């Protein structure tokens, strides 16, 4: 097929996305390649679908069930794109298809491979915004991240856990204002002010300032450290 030949040649991905937008039936062909081909063409195909879902999720939604199966893929690259695509489709999911895979989708947060978990966390805010009935459950799962063991090169990695906590802060930042668990989120972020990964500690401080929680933090922590209040307001 012409499309397959061009995929093998790694044609410009934006041109392919434009073609898919004009001819949505191409998505079926791309999914067939993803599930049957053994070459790197598969990854080009998942990226095309992901970029299409970012622009026009309605065009991709008819293939929701096929894409949902891809989060079970043994190939990480396919899995990661599938996770992102699904999060892009919830905004047009009037049929409640996502609801049927919610448990499976968010169980991926507990995968030992940090990038898989990070991809779920990084896209979780989209689901909260379009599926607010899942907000409490999603927040509870995100709050559990410090207790999850992530691995790097086959070994438990506290640093991976720190990185994940940073991703959680970023996600909370997207929907904190509409959350029903603001106190729990606030306490979670406060605990990360002293994180050994400086980038995470800075994210925590920025979050508290952005959401006007600094005074509460200062009041709580400065009784034992009189200089803390001055430091917070000088920054």
pTM, rounded to two decimals = 0.87
- Mean pLDDT, to the nearest integer, of 184-195? 96
pLDDT at residue 70 tops 90 = yes
Average pLDDT over residues 190-219: 85
Examine the pLDDT at 200 and tell me if it is beyond 60.
yes
What is the band of 222 on the pLDDT scale with cuts at 50, 70, 90?
A: very low
Mean pLDDT for 81-93 is: 98
Burial label, 2 (beta-carbon count in 10 A; 0-12, 13-18, 19+): exposed
Backbone angles phi, psi at 113, to 5 degrees: -75, 115
Residue 9 is predicted with a pLDDT of 62
- Burial grade of 24 (CB within 10 A; 0-12, 13-18, 19 or more): middle
228, pLDDT greater than 50: no
| Statement: residue 201 has pLDDT above 70 | yes
CA separation for the pair 42, 31 (Å, rounded): 9
Instruction: Tell me the pLDDT tens digit for each residue of 156-177.
Output: 999 999 999 999 999 999 999 9
Residues 214-221: what's their mean pLDDT?
A: 46
Residue-wise pLDDT tens digits, 110-127: 999 999 999 999 999 999
The average confidence (pLDDT) of the chain is 89
The reported pLDDT for the residue numbered 26 is: 93
- With contact defined as beta carbons under 8 Å apart, do 152 and 160 qualify? yes
- State the CB neighbour count (10 A cutoff) for residue 38: 7
């Amino acid at each position: 097929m012409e499309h397959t030949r061009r995929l093998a040649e790694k044609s410009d991905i934006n041109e392919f996305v434009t073609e898919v937008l004009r001819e949505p039936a191409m998505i079926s062909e791309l999914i067939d390649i993803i599930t049957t081909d053994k070459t790197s063409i598969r990854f080009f195909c998942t990226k095309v679908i992901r970029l299409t879902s970012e622009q026009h999720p309605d065009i991709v939604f008819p293939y929701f069930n096929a894409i949902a199966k891809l989060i079970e893929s043994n190939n990480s690259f396919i899995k990661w794109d599938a996770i992102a695509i699904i999060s892009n489709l919830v905004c047009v999911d009037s049929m409640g298809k996502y609801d049927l895979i919610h448990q499976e989708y968010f169980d991926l947060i507990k995968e030992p491979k940090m990038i898989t978990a990070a991809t779920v966390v990084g896209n979780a805010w989209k689901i909260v915004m379009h599926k607010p009935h899942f907000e409490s459950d999603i927040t509870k799962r995100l709050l559990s991240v410090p207790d999850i063991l992530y691995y790097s090169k086959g070994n438990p990695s506290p640093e991976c856990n720190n990185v994940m906590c940073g991703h959680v802060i970023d996600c909370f930042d997207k929907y904190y204002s509409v959350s029903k668990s603001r106190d729990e989120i606030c306490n979670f972020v406060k605990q990360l002010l002293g994180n050994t990964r400086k980038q995470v500690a800075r994210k925590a401080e920025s979050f508290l300032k952005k959401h006007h929680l600094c005074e509460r933090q200062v009041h709580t922590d400065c009784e034992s450290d009189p200089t803390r209040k001055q430091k917070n307001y000088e920054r």
